[in-house]
Amino acid sequence: MIDTPMLQTLAHFLDVTSFRHTLITSNMANIDTPGYRTRDINFLQELHRAATRVEWALYSPVTRQVQGLVERPDGNNVSLERESLLLAEVQLRFRTAVELVRSEFRQLSAAINEGK
Amino acid sequence: MNLFGMLELSGMALIAERQRAEVVASNMANAETTRTLEGGPYQRRLVVFRSRRLPQFPALLAGVRQNVGQGVRVDQVVRDATNPVRRYEPGHPDADAQGYVGYPAINPVDEMTDLLGAVRAYELNASAVQASKMMIQQALEILR
């Protein structure tokens, strides 16, 4: 199996990013659920945890409630703007990482083909 | 991490919001209904949303109950217990002895506001579906 440090880091990055995307989706789904609190992760901390974990399947990120959001009378504090902006940001981050993975594979492929 | 789980999450929200819109439509349609199967005027319906934990498939495979995303579903549809609005219409077949007819306590403005809220939330989740789809497609690009 071909594996480079760059690919490993990118894999962790993609993992944490897609997890964050799930959280944002979940926040958006619960925009009308009474008492629901916005949840998020500490991105850098999770990236570090993902990089230093031992087992693949046992990775369970720590989520936290986001502080400082305006709470509605029904106890829900999901902010449409925050979630929309984060969704766009996370999408672009994901895209960046995917492009980097592809370029890494292109480089590997070039290295293989040049040897022919 | 499960990319496809996000689609399910947003899908649940789409279903819940559509149900909410249906209930609102039913309220608006029955704003003047004085006869129902249970007897008496129509009672306004309200949906109650509840967040639901969605176990992630890879975690289940590994035997871990890891709850990541929280979906949403309509927990119950409750009836608004507000008393009917009484209007004096002696000629109406459903009028009581004093000539008053009980009409459902439905305010069209409230219902329209609720409907708009449901539509906006639906749009929001539909855009989340788009975002998830794009991410899955981009991940597939790696295979090319």
- Separation between Cα atoms, residue B139 and residue B137, nearest integer Å: 5
Find where tokens 């008492």 sit.
A35
List helix spans (H) across A2-79: 5-29, 43-52
Q: Do B49 and A32 touch (CB under 8 A)?
A: yes
- What pLDDT, on the 0 to 100 scale, is given for residue A87? 93
Nearest CA in chain B to A32: B49
Q: Does B23 touch chain A (CB under 8 A)?
A: no
Q: Which residues of A touch B48 (CB under 8 A)?
A: 34
CB-nearest partner of A19 from B16, B68, B144: B68
Q: Which residues of B touch A83 (CB under 8 A)?
A: 124
Q: What is the mean pLDDT of residues A8-19?
A: 89
Query: Helix crossing, A5-29 with A80-114: angle to 10°?
Result: 160
- Separation between Cα atoms, residue B67 and residue B54, nearest integer Å: 6
- What pLDDT, on the 0 to 100 scale, is given for residue B6? 82
Plot region of B111 (φ>0 → left; ψ -120 to 50 → alpha; else → beta): alpha
CB-nearest partner of A19 from B1, B51, B139: B1
Q: Does B74 touch chain A (CB under 8 A)?
A: no
Q: Total domain count for chain B? A: 1
Q: Which residues of B touch A15 (CB under 8 A)?
A: 1
Nearest CA in chain A to B124: A28
> Does residue B21 sit in helix, strand or coil?
helix
Query: Would you write out chain B's pLDDT as a tens digit for each of its 144 residues?
Result: 467 778 888 999 999 999 999 999 999 999 988 888 888 889 999 999 998 877 665 555 555 555 567 888 899 999 988 888 899 999 888 888 899 999 999 999 999 999 999 999 999 999 999 999 999 999 898 887
What is the residue type of B139?
A: A
> Does residue B89 sit in helix, strand or coil?
coil
Q: Does A79 touch chain B (CB under 8 A)?
A: no
Q: Does A107 touch chain B (CB under 8 A)?
A: no
Q: What is the pLDDT of residues A46-96, one digit of tens each?
A: 888 888 876 655 567 788 888 888 888 999 999 999 999 999 999 999 999
The range of the structural domain enclosing residue B18 comes to: 4-141
Look up the ipTM and state it: 0.79
Cβ-in-10-Å burial (0-12, 13-18, 19+) of B37 comes to exposed
